[in-house]
Protein backbone atom coordinates (compact mmCIF):
# COMPACT_ATOMS: atom_id res chain seq x y z
CA UNK A 1 0.00 0.00 0.00
CA UNK A 2 1.15 3.55 -0.67
CA UNK A 3 1.65 5.98 2.21
CA UNK A 4 2.03 9.74 2.11
CA UNK A 5 5.23 10.70 3.90
CA UNK A 6 3.43 13.67 5.46
CA UNK A 7 1.06 11.24 7.15
CA UNK A 8 4.07 9.40 8.61
CA UNK A 9 5.32 12.48 10.41
CA UNK A 10 4.75 12.22 14.17
CA UNK A 11 4.28 8.45 13.95
CA UNK A 12 5.41 6.84 17.19
CA UNK A 13 8.45 4.54 17.06
CA UNK A 14 8.17 1.71 19.57
CA UNK A 15 11.17 -0.39 20.63
CA UNK A 16 10.83 -3.92 21.97
CA UNK A 17 10.87 -2.49 25.50
CA UNK A 18 9.04 0.81 25.18
CA UNK A 19 8.56 4.03 23.17
CA UNK A 20 11.52 5.71 21.51
CA UNK A 21 10.00 8.89 20.12
CA UNK A 22 8.23 10.32 17.08
CA UNK A 23 9.12 10.66 13.38
CA UNK A 24 10.11 14.21 12.46
CA UNK A 25 11.53 13.66 8.98
CA UNK A 26 12.50 10.95 6.50
CA UNK A 27 15.79 10.68 4.60
CA UNK A 28 15.71 9.22 1.10
CA UNK A 29 18.50 8.06 -1.16
CA UNK A 30 18.38 10.26 -4.26
CA UNK A 31 20.12 7.56 -6.31
CA UNK A 32 17.40 4.92 -5.87
CA UNK A 33 14.60 7.07 -4.38
CA UNK A 34 14.12 4.86 -1.32
CA UNK A 35 13.51 5.94 2.28
CA UNK A 36 16.66 4.92 4.16
CA UNK A 37 16.03 6.41 7.61
CA UNK A 38 13.38 7.87 9.86
CA UNK A 39 14.63 10.88 11.77
CA UNK A 40 13.15 10.31 15.23
CA UNK A 41 13.04 12.81 18.05
CA UNK A 42 13.41 10.79 21.20
CA UNK A 43 11.49 11.79 24.28
CA UNK A 44 12.74 13.19 27.56
CA UNK A 45 14.32 9.80 28.35
CA UNK A 46 17.05 10.71 25.83
CA UNK A 47 17.00 14.51 26.27
CA UNK A 48 14.99 14.85 23.03
CA UNK A 49 18.02 13.75 21.01
CA UNK A 50 17.33 13.02 17.35
CA UNK A 51 18.29 9.53 16.19
CA UNK A 52 18.14 7.60 12.93
CA UNK A 53 16.00 4.47 12.66
CA UNK A 54 16.32 2.24 9.59
CA UNK A 55 13.20 0.74 7.96
CA UNK A 56 15.10 -2.58 8.16
CA UNK A 57 14.17 -2.70 11.84
CA UNK A 58 10.44 -2.03 11.29
CA UNK A 59 8.04 -4.93 11.64
CA UNK A 60 4.23 -5.17 11.48
CA UNK A 61 3.33 -1.45 11.42
CA UNK A 62 0.28 -0.53 13.48
CA UNK A 63 -1.26 1.89 10.99
CA UNK A 64 -4.44 2.58 12.95
CA UNK A 65 -2.40 3.45 16.04
CA UNK A 66 0.12 5.47 13.98
CA UNK A 67 2.95 3.38 15.43
CA UNK A 68 5.96 1.68 13.85
CA UNK A 69 7.27 -1.11 16.08
CA UNK A 70 10.98 -1.80 15.62
CA UNK A 71 13.13 -4.81 16.47
CA UNK A 72 15.65 -2.91 18.57
CA UNK A 73 15.80 -1.92 22.23
CA UNK A 74 15.87 1.49 23.88
CA UNK A 75 19.33 0.72 25.23
CA UNK A 76 20.57 0.12 21.67
CA UNK A 77 19.13 3.43 20.56
CA UNK A 78 20.69 5.18 23.56
CA UNK A 79 24.14 3.79 22.69
CA UNK A 80 23.81 4.22 18.92
CA UNK A 81 26.27 6.47 17.04
CA UNK A 82 25.53 10.14 17.69
CA UNK A 83 24.79 11.58 14.23
CA UNK A 84 23.96 15.25 13.77
CA UNK A 85 20.74 15.01 11.77
CA UNK A 86 20.83 18.75 11.02
CA UNK A 87 23.92 18.23 8.84
CA UNK A 88 24.46 16.01 5.76
CA UNK A 89 24.86 12.37 6.74
CA UNK A 90 28.14 11.07 5.33
CA UNK A 91 28.81 7.58 4.03
CA UNK A 92 31.17 7.15 6.97
CA UNK A 93 28.28 7.99 9.33
CA UNK A 94 26.18 5.36 7.59
CA UNK A 95 28.90 2.73 7.78
CA UNK A 96 29.22 3.36 11.51
CA UNK A 97 25.45 3.14 11.92
CA UNK A 98 25.11 -0.05 9.86
CA UNK A 99 28.02 -1.68 11.64
CA UNK A 100 26.59 -0.82 15.06
CA UNK A 101 23.24 -2.46 14.32
CA UNK A 102 24.73 -5.29 12.27
CA UNK A 103 22.94 -4.38 9.04
CA UNK A 104 24.59 -4.95 5.67
CA UNK A 105 25.05 -1.86 3.49
CA UNK A 106 22.23 -1.09 1.08
CA UNK A 107 24.56 0.46 -1.53
CA UNK A 108 26.45 -1.53 -4.12
CA UNK A 109 23.84 -4.27 -4.65
CA UNK A 110 21.27 -5.07 -7.26
CA UNK A 111 17.93 -4.32 -5.58
CA UNK A 112 16.58 -1.26 -3.80
CA UNK A 113 18.10 -2.58 -0.57
CA UNK A 114 21.24 -4.02 -2.17
CA UNK A 115 22.08 -7.68 -1.81
CA UNK A 116 21.52 -7.80 1.95
CA UNK A 117 18.59 -7.26 4.24
CA UNK A 118 15.39 -5.42 3.47
CA UNK A 119 12.44 -4.22 5.58
CA UNK A 120 10.55 -7.00 7.39
CA UNK A 121 13.22 -9.56 6.49
CA UNK A 122 14.63 -10.25 9.91
CA UNK A 123 14.88 -9.56 13.60
CA UNK A 124 18.47 -8.29 13.89
CA UNK A 125 21.13 -9.91 16.01
CA UNK A 126 22.55 -7.26 18.27
CA UNK A 127 26.08 -8.34 19.18
CA UNK A 128 28.92 -6.81 17.20
CA UNK A 129 28.56 -7.42 13.48
CA UNK A 130 26.32 -10.45 13.74
CA UNK A 131 23.78 -9.09 11.30
CA UNK A 132 23.54 -12.00 8.88
CA UNK A 133 21.74 -14.89 10.54
CA UNK A 134 23.47 -17.83 8.88
CA UNK A 135 22.42 -20.41 11.42
CA UNK A 136 24.24 -23.31 9.78
CA UNK A 137 27.65 -21.60 9.94
CA UNK A 138 29.87 -21.68 12.98
CA UNK A 139 29.54 -18.42 14.94
CA UNK A 140 33.26 -17.60 15.03
CA UNK A 141 33.65 -18.26 11.32
CA UNK A 142 30.55 -16.16 10.59
CA UNK A 143 31.91 -13.22 12.55
CA UNK A 144 35.27 -13.41 10.75
CA UNK A 145 33.52 -13.44 7.38
CA UNK A 146 31.27 -10.53 8.35
CA UNK A 147 34.17 -8.44 9.64
CA UNK A 148 36.15 -9.05 6.44
CA UNK A 149 33.13 -8.16 4.34
CA UNK A 150 32.48 -4.93 6.24
CA UNK A 151 36.15 -3.89 6.06
CA UNK A 152 36.12 -4.41 2.29
CA UNK A 153 32.87 -2.46 1.91
CA UNK A 154 34.21 0.43 3.98
CA UNK A 155 37.33 0.61 1.84
CA UNK A 156 35.39 0.37 -1.41
CA UNK A 157 32.95 3.15 -0.52
CA UNK A 158 35.18 5.40 1.60
CA UNK A 159 35.07 8.28 -0.87
CA UNK A 160 31.49 7.87 -2.08
CA UNK A 161 29.40 11.03 -2.08
CA UNK A 162 26.38 10.93 0.24
CA UNK A 163 23.02 10.83 -1.51
CA UNK A 164 20.69 11.27 1.45
CA UNK A 165 18.07 13.99 1.20
CA UNK A 166 15.47 15.22 3.65
CA UNK A 167 11.87 14.82 2.51
CA UNK A 168 11.01 18.05 4.29
CA UNK A 169 13.84 19.94 2.62
CA UNK A 170 12.97 18.78 -0.92
CA UNK A 171 9.27 19.53 -0.43
CA UNK A 172 8.69 22.83 -2.20
CA UNK A 173 11.24 22.22 -4.98
CA UNK A 174 9.97 23.63 -8.30
CA UNK A 175 9.04 21.14 -11.03
CA UNK A 176 10.11 22.00 -14.57
CA UNK A 177 8.46 20.19 -17.48
CA UNK A 178 10.19 20.03 -20.87
CA UNK A 179 8.53 23.33 -21.85
CA UNK A 180 8.24 25.26 -18.61
CA UNK A 181 7.48 25.22 -14.90
CA UNK A 182 4.36 23.39 -13.76
CA UNK A 183 4.34 23.33 -9.96
CA UNK A 184 6.24 22.24 -6.89
CA UNK A 185 6.87 19.10 -4.84
CA UNK A 186 4.10 18.79 -2.25
CA UNK A 187 4.86 15.33 -0.89
CA UNK A 188 5.78 11.72 -1.65
CA UNK A 189 3.98 8.39 -1.86
CA UNK A 190 6.00 5.42 -0.61
CA UNK A 191 5.47 1.67 -0.78
CA UNK A 192 5.04 0.59 2.83
CA UNK A 193 6.79 -2.74 2.19
CA UNK A 194 9.96 -1.64 0.38
CA UNK A 195 9.87 2.05 1.44
CA UNK A 196 10.59 3.03 -2.16
CA UNK A 197 9.24 6.41 -3.27
CA UNK A 198 6.91 5.53 -6.13
CA UNK A 199 5.53 9.01 -6.76
CA UNK A 200 6.18 12.67 -6.08
CA UNK A 201 3.01 14.63 -5.39
CA UNK A 202 3.10 17.78 -7.52
CA UNK A 203 0.98 20.81 -6.63
CA UNK A 204 0.09 22.72 -9.80
CA UNK A 205 -2.26 25.19 -8.07
CA UNK A 206 -0.35 28.25 -9.36
CA UNK A 207 -1.35 27.19 -12.88
CA UNK A 208 -4.51 25.10 -12.69
CA UNK A 209 -6.23 25.94 -9.41
CA UNK A 210 -5.62 23.28 -6.76
CA UNK A 211 -4.77 20.55 -9.23
CA UNK A 212 -2.40 17.88 -7.81
CA UNK A 213 -0.83 15.17 -9.93
CA UNK A 214 1.70 12.38 -9.48
CA UNK A 215 5.14 12.11 -11.09
CA UNK A 216 7.26 8.95 -10.87
CA UNK A 217 10.98 9.29 -10.07
CA UNK A 218 11.72 7.42 -13.32
CA UNK A 219 10.42 10.44 -15.26
CA UNK A 220 12.87 12.82 -13.63
CA UNK A 221 15.77 13.81 -15.88
CA UNK A 222 17.70 15.83 -13.29
CA UNK A 223 17.55 17.36 -9.85
CA UNK A 224 19.40 20.61 -9.29
CA UNK A 225 19.97 20.77 -5.56
CA UNK A 226 21.59 24.22 -5.65
CA UNK A 227 18.57 26.01 -7.14
CA UNK A 228 15.97 23.56 -5.79
CA UNK A 229 14.45 22.46 -9.09
CA UNK A 230 13.38 19.10 -10.50
CA UNK A 231 13.30 18.61 -14.28
CA UNK A 232 11.03 15.98 -15.86
CA UNK A 233 10.78 14.67 -19.42
CA UNK A 234 7.06 15.43 -19.72
CA UNK A 235 5.29 18.38 -21.34
CA UNK A 236 3.15 20.87 -19.44
CA UNK A 237 0.06 19.80 -21.39
CA UNK A 238 0.58 16.13 -20.54
CA UNK A 239 0.91 16.99 -16.85
CA UNK A 240 -2.14 19.26 -17.01
CA UNK A 241 -4.20 16.43 -18.51
CA UNK A 242 -2.99 13.79 -16.06
CA UNK A 243 -5.40 12.09 -13.66
CA UNK A 244 -5.94 14.28 -10.61
CA UNK A 245 -4.44 12.91 -7.42
CA UNK A 246 -7.08 12.36 -4.74
CA UNK A 247 -5.43 11.98 -1.32
CA UNK A 248 -8.58 10.39 0.08
CA UNK A 249 -8.68 7.61 -2.53
CA UNK A 250 -7.09 4.23 -1.83
CA UNK A 251 -4.39 3.86 -4.44
CA UNK A 252 -4.70 0.76 -6.60
CA UNK A 253 -2.94 -0.94 -9.49
CA UNK A 254 -5.78 0.24 -11.73
CA UNK A 255 -4.93 3.86 -10.87
CA UNK A 256 -1.27 3.03 -11.53
CA UNK A 257 -2.20 1.77 -14.98
CA UNK A 258 -4.32 4.82 -15.83
CA UNK A 259 -1.51 7.15 -14.85
CA UNK A 260 1.18 5.28 -16.80
CA UNK A 261 -1.10 4.87 -19.82
CA UNK A 262 -1.80 8.60 -19.82
CA UNK A 263 1.93 9.31 -20.03
CA UNK A 264 2.55 6.45 -22.46
CA UNK A 265 5.00 4.77 -20.08
CA UNK A 266 5.55 1.13 -19.16
CA UNK A 267 4.53 0.40 -15.57
CA UNK A 268 7.18 -0.07 -12.91
CA UNK A 269 5.51 -3.36 -11.96
CA UNK A 270 6.58 -4.71 -15.36
CA UNK A 271 10.19 -4.36 -14.24
CA UNK A 272 11.27 -2.07 -17.06
CA UNK A 273 11.02 1.36 -15.49
CA UNK A 274 14.37 2.76 -14.47
CA UNK A 275 15.22 5.27 -11.79
CA UNK A 276 16.97 8.53 -12.65
CA UNK A 277 20.61 9.37 -12.30
CA UNK A 278 21.50 12.47 -10.31
CA UNK A 279 23.24 15.31 -12.17
Residue 10 is assigned to a structural domain of this protein: yes
If one counts the domains in the chain, the total is 2
In a domain, 51, yes or no: yes
- Between the alpha carbon of residue 251 and those of residues 51, 125, 186, 272, the distances in Å are 31, 35, 17, 21
What percentage of the chain reaches a pLDDT higher than 70?
A: 80
pLDDT tens digits along 103-160: 988 887 667 887 767 786 644 443 333 333 333 334 455 445 545 544 554 454 444 4
- Asked if residue 133 and residue 38 are part of one domain, the reply reads yes
Residue 86: predicted pLDDT: 80
**Do 119 and 63 belong together in one domain?**
yes
Contact residues for 39 (Cβ-Cβ < 8 A; gap 6+): 23, 24, 25, 26, 27, 50, 51, 52, 85, 166
Looking at 140, 164, 188, the residue that finishes a domain is: 164
Are both 142 and 213 inside the same structural domain? no
Question: Is the model's pLDDT at 276 over the cut of 80?
Answer: no
The residue ranking higher by pLDDT, 55 or 142, is: 55
Output the 3-class SS for the chain: CEEEHHHHCCCEEEECCEEEEEEEEEEEECCCCEEEEEEEEECHHHCCCEEEECHHHECCCECCCCEEEECCCHHHHHCCCCCCCCCCCCHHHHHHHHHHHCCCCCCCCCECCECCCCCCCCCCCCCCCCCCCCCCCCHHHHHHHHHHHHHHHHHHCCCCCCCEEEHHHHCCCEEEECCEEEEEEEEEEEECCCCEEEEEEEECHHHHCCCEEEECHHHEEEEECCCCEEEECCCHHHHHCCCCCCCCCCCCHHHHHHHHHHHCCCCHHHCCCCCCCCC
160, 63: one domain: yes
User: Residues 243-260: what's their mean pLDDT?
Assistant: 91
Query: Which of 100, 131, 164 is the endpoint of a domain?
Result: 164
Domain check: are 152 and 184 in the same one? no
Domain of residue 111 covers 2-164
In this structure, is residue 277 part of a structural domain?
no
For the entire predicted model, the pTM comes to 0.81
pLDDT at 144: 53
1-39, pLDDT tens digit by residue?
899 999 999 999 999 999 999 999 999 998 889 999 999
pLDDT in tens, 210-234: 789 999 999 999 999 989 999 999 9
Q: Is residue 142 part of a domain?
A: yes
Amino acid sequence: MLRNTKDLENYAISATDGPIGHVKDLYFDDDAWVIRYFVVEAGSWLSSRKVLISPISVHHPEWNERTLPVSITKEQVKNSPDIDTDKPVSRQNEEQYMGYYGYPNYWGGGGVWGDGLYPFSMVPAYAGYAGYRLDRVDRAEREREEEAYLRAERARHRNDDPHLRSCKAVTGYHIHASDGEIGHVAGYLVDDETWAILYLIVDTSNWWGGHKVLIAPAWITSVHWSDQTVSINLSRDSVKGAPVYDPDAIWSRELDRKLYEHYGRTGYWAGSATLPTEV
